[in-house]
Structure 1
Amino acid sequence: MSTRKNKKVAIDLALLLPSVLVILAISAPLLITPEASKIVVNQLLAWCTGTFGWLYLLAGVGSFLFVVWLAFGPVGRIKLGDPDEAPEFSKLPWVSMLFCAGIGISICNWAFVEPLYFLSSPPMEIPANTTKAVEWAAMYPMFHWGVVPWAVYLMPALPIGYALYVRKVNVLRLSEACRGVLGGLVDGPIGKAIDIIVIFSIVGGVGTSLGLSVPLVSKLFQSMFGLQDSFGLQMIILSAWIAMIAWSVYNGLNKGIQTLSNINAVLALILLVFVLFASSTVFILNLWVNSFGLLVNNFFRMAFWTDPIAKSGFPQNWTIFYWAWWIAYAPMMGLFVARISRGRTIKDIILNGLLWGSFGCWAFFAIWGGFALNLDVSGSVDLQTILSQQGIPATVVAVLQQLPASDLIIPLFTLLCFIFLATTVDSSAYMLAAVCTKEISGYQEPARWNRILWALLLGLVGVGLLSVGGLKIVQTSTVLVALPMIPVLFIMSLSMLRWIKEDFSSELAPDVIANTGSESTNKNAPADQQTPDQGVLDSLAINK
């Protein structure tokens, strides 16, 4: 293991250089001609959601059903690692890194305001600002931030983890996880194209978070220090963010990313508990339980709702956008979750990801969103007017100012935002650096300068999106980059199932994996084909 860790890693310039050029080519027009770019991307958004909305919805619900099938079938017993290998990270730090990387500052942006949007513009032709609208406004974020997003995240994580720790490959790329279907094609232009799509998808997803989050923190700074909003202030905040992210990725998984994630989890828990007990506790808890019941009753209706007749635009503007956002983030999360999940079974990864990821998101929306709804419905603060006239950042500040000890809470919330985004972007920069490394095992880390380079490039994309401005712009970037990822996720999943059929055909139940005889097909495989260690086969029998 020490040899694997100390082996020098080399950069794959054939992948790094085209990826950097693509990112620069996309960012430059946003910086040079922001107004013209805004028109183009708005047109692209309308075309993409109108034409392929059904595909995003099917990809979302299909991911959820697929990972549940894996978890509760014989495949769930497979361990990603050697039979006697303990998990690399203990449970709490592992869950903390998984959650902070997958959600980040976005939940600070949306937890207070998304229910307010749905209250004024409800789905399913529900009249605005009615009792039913309040109930659905509290419930719908639980759908958007629940089991479907986390299932999408796990879709690439499992094939990558299988390739890394069962088949023992020496690259950390999504293209390698497609080898079970594409074979040697992943070593040529097709494999490079997949990895460039992955890099573009990660950069687009993270750029969306930066484009939405910097204005929020800028508004928080204005509230604390009486500053005027300006592009310069946003650039100062973004620079401070990139410095923190660069420090984190420079120090790697154990010293940097894990440290920030642990701090973040503790700070988030403190603020959640404070808001719960410093506000209308009973109202929040009652609304949360009611929302869960509505979610269970209407899950599949919402999962397949395209609104083809009334054409209100709700599923296109919200659900389809969110599904595209999660798909855009899926490559980064897949790589990251696979990298930190060595020593865990497929079932363990799926159930913990779905359970703790969804519950964590629901807690934020139930408590922070419930508090905001109560303020608006009770007439304490007209948050809907603030949201429509001044935007999301001003609304978040208005909600925070209603809390006891707001002079202390707002700085703590600002710190939470800083660390939340840092944990997302540093995870992304870390994995982008790993993708652009020629050979790297699950026991190694990419070169430090490579990690820092990607942190700076992600910051550049954020600058481009900020210069254009507007929620529609960042929505478009996400929806577009997610579209080519859908077939890649499908190929990866099929690839993993083929590998499992080859590696464990005699160990798994015949009704799950097609019966290929009593002996594994590995025995007839070419000598140079990577196969799992015999110990992994033994571990499956033990796990039975």
Structure 2
Amino acid sequence: MLQNTQKDLTLIFTSIAVITLTVIGLMMFPDQAKVLADHLFTSATMTFGTLVQVLGFVCVILIVGLAFSKYGNIRLGEGKPEYKNTSWIFMFICAGLGSATMYWAFMEWAYYYLTPGLDIASASKQALEMSIAYSFFHWGITPWAIYGIASLAMAYHFHVRKNKGLSLAGIIEAITGFKAHGPVGRIIDLIFLFATFGGLVLTTTLTASTVAKGLSDLTGLTDGFLLKACLVMLVTVVFSLSSWIGISSGMQRLAKLACGMTMLFALVVLLLGPTLFSINNTANAIGLTLQNFIHMSLATDPTGNGEFARGWTVFYWLYWITYAPGVAIFVTRVSKGRTIKEVVMAMILGGCGGCWFFFGSLQSFAIHQFITDVVNAPAMLSGAGGEAAVSLLLNSLPFGKVLSVIYFVLMLVFLASHLDAVAYTVVATSTRNLREGQDPAPSLRLFWCLLLAALPLAMLYINASLNTLKTAVILTAIPFIFILFVKIWGLLKWLREDYAAMPASLIEEQSQRLSTMDAAQASAARAHQPHGAAPTLETQP
């Protein structure tokens, strides 16, 4: 029985009202909703697009600069790291994978082949080579730098400054002074909830559509709204039961197993498919990505309509930004005792490496099937759809039916795990005075589990286009741009106050000393310091 916790009724009823009105509007006026979504998408990306692209590029510069400056040796908390390097890096790779990722890993190149960026001719040889390079760009250095800078701010706030509140509102309070439970904190919580729903809509809808098409091909079931709705409700029941009876740890273990199985799946595709072509294609894509990185980062197409940059690069950066607060909390929890440089290197090299291997294997196979006239994925985008292309690509593999079943099961496990984690986060946000180690009320968790399924079901009902789904992400993510700016400003401010006057040699010595200290020793050292200052060697025991 929980004590001293209260349901945040204002937050709950506001969320319910917005979600209910949105679902009713989508289902009553589906055609008008699609037109409005297209208009909002264009307006939002044209207004904020350049700012988002510059922000992404700045994050790369900042995180590389921090890692290789004297600040890179700052240790985030005392004691030795809790996890071994291999397990720790694998956690970051898992943070970049998910159910929707499995769709993009097969199909993203096809979109870029038909509508390439950088003024490349559509459906050309150059467009084909750059298609996978752009996938690597959108799942590579910049998004992981966005994750990294958000994570470093949170980890520094929690492990070095020892501020209270491992939450988005908590770190904003520490930086700005606005109370987490005041009006500004309430607004931040609302933004966080709506952004969570925005990202969830895209993930759930893509996953349900892809799995439904695959099951239809395998079993002969009709690929319609009923099948998709049944899949969403099945997954909802699974993670609702998980939330109700408290088996989230089991769900998390299943998710980690799914991550390992996903990487194994990519290895199987690499070995069973055109192995040499895939290796050559992946290496070529990495070269093109690095060669064109600055241009791809800042390509706003001022003399054209900028459709590619707005429709893909801006969308992706905002998509990653919506998940940055949650990832930052996760990274903070598993990175105590690590240095800033270690966190940066693990996220950039580990995160990029995992995503590039996964995308390189699956996309290279899809491209090879295209150039050998086995499966024309680009042509199917405007006809049967990307979900049908994924089904055909899977069936074209040796042991295709077996691998198809494994692929679709992995997608559903990822989705259930993702929804379970989102449900817990939403419930925790809407519960006041929740202490460390406490779980929110099961009834409230079940309520949010059911509500989380409402928006994706509405999108499936109106057969929302990809642009409509993207709009859900864009509109809910825009406020996070300014929150990320605040976090960056706060991190730089703290670093300047705590370490600007300290020589690099002393920072390194302090880092080594902290790695051998326990929490009590570190607390005693901090007791001799001004509030918020990092412990110096002179006052350490």
Coarse TM-score class (shorter-chain normalised) = 0.7 to 0.9
Among 65, 69, 77, the residue aligned to 2:65: 69
Q: Choose which of 242, 258, 262 in structure 2 pairs with 1:268.
A: 262
Given the alignment, which residue of 292, 295, 315 partners 1:298? 292
| 464, 478, 481: which one aligns with 1:483 | 478
Structure 1 residue corresponding to 2:182, chosen from 162, 179, 188: 188
In structure 1, how many angstroms separate the alpha carbons of the residues matched to 2:242 and 2:442? 10
Are 2:423 and 1:425 equivalent residues in the alignment? Answer: no
Q: What CA distance in whole angstroms lies between the structure 1 residues aligned with 2:221 and 2:348? A: 41
Task: Map 1:357-368 onto structure 2 (within 5 A).
Answer: 357-368=351-362
Task: Note the alpha carbon deviations across 1:374-404, whole angstroms, 9 max, x for none.
Answer: 1111222322222221111001001111101
**1:31 aligned residue:** 27
1:127 aligns with 2:121: yes
In structure 2, relative to structure 1, the CA distance for the partners of 1:78 and 1:258 (3 Å cut) is farther
TM superposition shift of 1:316 = 1.5
1:149-228 counterparts in 2 under 5 A?
149-228=143-222
Q: Is the 8 A contact 2:274 2:365 kept in 1?
A: yes
* Alignment-derived partner of residue 528 in structure 1: none
Query: Which of 279, 282, 287 is the equivalent residue of 1:288?
Result: 282
Question: Who is 1:352 aligned against?
Answer: 346
Superposition deviation, residue 126 in structure 1: 2.2
Cα pair 2:528 2:539 within 8 Å, conserved: no
Corresponding residue of 1:463: 457
**Would the aligned equivalents of 2:72 and 2:340 in 1 still touch at CA under 8 Å?**
yes
Q: What is the CA deviation profile of residues 497-528 of structure 1, one whole-angstrom value per residue up to 9, with x for unaligned ones?
A: 3334445566565999xxxxxx9999565xxx
Aligned to 2:392: 398
CA distance in 1, matches of 2:21, 2:503: 48
- Where 2:177 maps in the other structure, the secondary structure is helix
Root-mean-square deviation (Å): 3.1
Residue 229 (structure 2) aligns with: 235
In structure 1, distance between residues paired with 2:227 and 2:96:
27
The amino acid across from 1:118 in the alignment is Y
Deviates more, 1:476-485 or 1:121-130: 121-130
Kindly indicate whether the alpha-carbon contact (under 8 Å) linking 1:173 and 1:195 is maintained by their aligned counterparts in 2: no
Q: Does 1:53 align with 2:76?
A: no
1:13-57 CA distances to partner (integer Å, 9 max, x unpaired)?
444443343333333322332222222111101111122210111
Residues 355, 254 of structure 1: alpha-carbon distance in 2 compared, 3 angstrom cutoff: farther
Amino acid in the other structure paired with 1:178: I
**Which one of the candidate residues 493, 501, 512 is aligned to 1:498?**
493
What aligned pairs does 1:131-142 form with structure 2 within 5 A after superposition?
131-142=125-136
Residues 500/483 of structure 1: CA separation in 2 closer, same or farther (3 Å cut): same
Q: Which deviations, in whole Å up to 9, do the C-alpha atoms of 1:46-91 show, x marking residues without a partner?
A: 111122210111121122222222323333334443x22642x555
Q: Distance in 1 between matches of 2:537 and 2:236?
A: 43
- Aligned partner letter, 2:316: Y
What is the TM-score normalised by the length of structure 1? 0.87
Following superposition, the deviation at residue 215 of structure 1 comes to: 0.6
Say which SS state the counterpart of residue 205 (structure 1) adopts.
Answer: helix
Q: Look up the equivalent residue of 2:406 and give its one-letter code.
A: L
1:414-458 Cα shifts (integer Å, max 9, x gaps): 111112223333232232233334345666555544444433332
Determine the C-alpha separation between the residues in 2 that align with 1:455 and 1:407.
32
Q: Contact 1:171/1:439 (CA < 8 Å) preserved in 2? A: no
Alpha carbons of 1:383 and 1:424: their partners in 2 closer, same or farther (altered >3 Å)?
same
Cα distance change on mapping 1:177 and 1:107 into 2, 3 Å: same
Q: 426-435 or 269-278, which moves further after superposition?
A: 426-435
Matches of 2:436 and 2:88 in 1, distance apart?
A: 16
Q: Once the two structures are superposed, what CA deviation does each residue of 1:444-488 show, in whole Å capped at 9, x if it has no partner?
A: 555544444433332222112222311111111111111111011
Q: 1:448 to 1:59 in 2, by over 3 A?
A: farther
Q: Distance in 2 between matches of 1:114 and 1:397?
A: 15
Work out the CA distance in 1 between the residues paired with 2:166 and 2:188.
13
Separation in 2 of the partners of 1:98 and 1:306? Answer: 30
Distance 2:445 2:268 in 1: 36
Q: Is the 8 A contact 1:332 1:428 kept in 2?
A: no
Letter in 2 for 1:537: P
Change over 3 Å in CA distance of 1:31–1:101 after alignment to 2: farther
User: 2:470 aligned with 1:472, yes or no?
Assistant: no
TM-score w.r.t. length of structure 2: 0.87
Question: Distance between the aligned counterparts of 1:451 and 1:540, measured in 2?
Answer: 49
Partner residue in 1 for 2:365: 371
Residues in 1 aligned to 2:111 and 2:180: alpha-carbon distance in whole angstroms: 44
Structure 1's unaligned 5+ residue stretches are 1-5, 513-518, 526-530
Give the distance between the partners of 1:189 and 1:31, measured in 2 at CA: 33
